[in-house]
Structure 1
Amino acid sequence: MAASESRLLDPAEYITHHLTFFSSKPQSSVVDFSIINYDTLFWSILTGLATILILWLAARKATSGVPSRFQCAIEWLVEMVEDQSKTMIHGSRTFIAPLALTVFIWVALMNSLDLLPVDLATRVIGVLGLSSVIPHQRIVPTADINATFGMALGIFILMLYYSIKIKGLGGWLHELVTAPFGAHPLLWIPNLALNIIEYVAKTVSLGMRLFGNMYAGELLFLLIALLGGMWGFGLDFGVLGFIGHVIAGSVWAIFHILIVLLQAFIFMMLTLVYLGQAHDKH
């Protein structure tokens, strides 16, 4: 139940409340770039700062002696990313490998917020007396399509940057109209259309894959939370619902840990794949 509500929410209102962003204004159309989701910005920046802090602490506390568990974990991540980048990037990895490492940790932290109790943010806001100021709060940035598409667009810009840097502007433009079918003038338009579709497909799939998985996970956590609160909706099987809530919630939370890390790994790997393809010449 929202702290600002004077009555219990029914299941549909409960889910709608938790799936509503704390935005600059209500969304009235499918696409509206004037809307700012403050909760997405706050939590993505917070986890971004946490990522920087983790990497800074790892660099600061690194020792050549017996490493701590924290240093071992970071070194394992660094070696994993470095090994993957070696096989995909045929050129300098000075920027790309650290970028991939940062992306993995950042996305993993944002995804991990989905493991927090679904009502925690609402309760904290209510205790602080800010319910009238912050009526809604969604704490999983990667369950917001704006955040995932924003990251995907960032990768898209890097794809263009490295394509032009490695091949030159003329070489990149030549590749757009001559690959993959050939350099005959009659094939320029099909080649260009296919390459544009490929760029768009890569960007859309990169953002939609992460968003779809995290949104589904968030929604499932809300449905499980409803099991534990069935008595609050006037239903007679509240005890059974509570037991189902505990069992289903525990099982899904354990399984969701795998999803959290897997989606972060996939996003990192696709980043390396796409930037590696930008280095290849046809």
Structure 2
Amino acid sequence: MAGELTTQGYIKHHLTNASVGEGFWTWHVDTLAWSILLGLVFIISFYAVARKATVGVPGKFQCFVEMIVEFVGNSVKDTFHGKNPLIAPLALTIFVWVLLMNTMDIIPVDWLPSLAALIGGESWETISSGQSHIYMKVVPTTDLNMTAALALGVFILMIFYSIKIKGVGGFLKELYAHPFNTPWLYWFNFILEVIALIAKPMSLALRLFGNLYAGELIFILIAGLMGVWQLPAHFIWAAFHLLVIPLQAFIFMMLTIVYLSLAHEDH
């Protein structure tokens, strides 16, 4: 597919989302579709395991799910110091959902876009010559809109529980009376704390996006420069990327737990 395209055009094609609308109301339909589909995969598969769970010797998939649940549960117990039944399910959802979205990075970059173009009625000659008009990014976490939406959800929960646990007055006092509880430094404290507060969701979104976007870009470069000979190099890079995929899901989950634990602390 890449043979008759410039490398620059090939990269641009693969980094372009399928979108509808204009301006602020532009919707990245590939990101939405794949994230919803993978979310359903998580819900349906875990629900099926929960329904068929046995007290005897578990099956392989049940054992795998139990290991994930136990791992996330221990992470919450070790990190979250408040009392909230929402945190463990939220952490499990974030970890598995982000892990599934990241794992889409392993699929060779031409496979699913080419399949989508064939389903869309384009001929194989059009697709292989690089003239396809079908755009599809299959890794939702390489879209900043997706990672920002996840981070925004965490940020809203942080603010909600900070106000719920500490009250409006306690929440505001954390902003203006920390770290220097001196009236003439309240203005300085407020600037520092607001910056620190806003930096939390921004770091969540940009860290996940940056790592997955960089990894996907390397996959695209491999495919664009090597054409049909991409698979050996693809799987070599994929083997290394197997470390990045779960690590980024784990980091996002742990930072979410930490931020919500801080929101539940009432000084």
How high is the TM-score relative to the length of structure 2? 0.91
Q: Gaps (5+ residues) in structure 2?
A: 123-130
Tell me by how many angstroms 1:134 deviates: 6.3
**1:58 is aligned to 2:56:** no
The answer for the alignment partner of 2:246 in structure 1 is 261
Tell me by how many angstroms 1:133 deviates: 10
What amino acid is the match of 2:197?
Answer: Y
**1:23 is aligned to 2:19:** yes
Tell me by how many angstroms 1:91 deviates: 2.0
**1:104 is aligned to 2:95:** yes
CA distance in 2, matches of 1:92, 1:281: 12
Aligned residue among 98, 101, 121 for 2:112: 121
Tell me by how many angstroms 1:250 deviates: 1.8
Q: 1:85·1:93 contact (CA, 8 Å) conserved in 2?
A: no
CA distance in 2, matches of 1:55, 1:169: 38
Tell me by how many angstroms 1:120 deviates: 1.2
CA distance in 2, matches of 1:153, 1:195: 18
Structure having greater relative contact order (Cα 8 Å, sep ≥ 6): 2
Deviations 1:70-106 (A, max 9, x none): 1111111111111111122222231111100011000
SS at match of 1:229: helix
CA distance in 2, matches of 1:187, 1:278: 23
CA distance in 2, matches of 1:272, 1:74: 20
Q: 2:117·2:132 contact (CA, 8 Å) conserved in 1?
A: no
CA distance in 1, matches of 2:7, 2:161: 49
The answer for the alignment partner of 2:171 in structure 1 is 172
SS at match of 1:190: helix
Q: 1:148·1:207 contact (CA, 8 Å) conserved in 2?
A: yes
Aligned residue among 236, 252, 265 for 1:251: 236
Tell me by how many angstroms 1:141 deviates: 0.5
The answer for the alignment partner of 1:146 in structure 2 is 145
The answer for the alignment partner of 2:198 in structure 1 is 200
Task: From the two aligned structures, give the one with the greater helix fraction.
Answer: 2
* Aligned residue pairs, count: 259
What amino acid is the match of 2:241?
Answer: H
CA distance in 1, matches of 2:116, 2:238: 24
Deviations 1:83-138 (A, max 9, x none): 11112222223111110001100000000111111111222123223459962111
Aligned residue among 79, 82, 104 for 1:88: 79
Q: 2:102·2:141 contact (CA, 8 Å) conserved in 1?
A: yes
Tell me by how many angstroms 1:33 deviates: 2.3
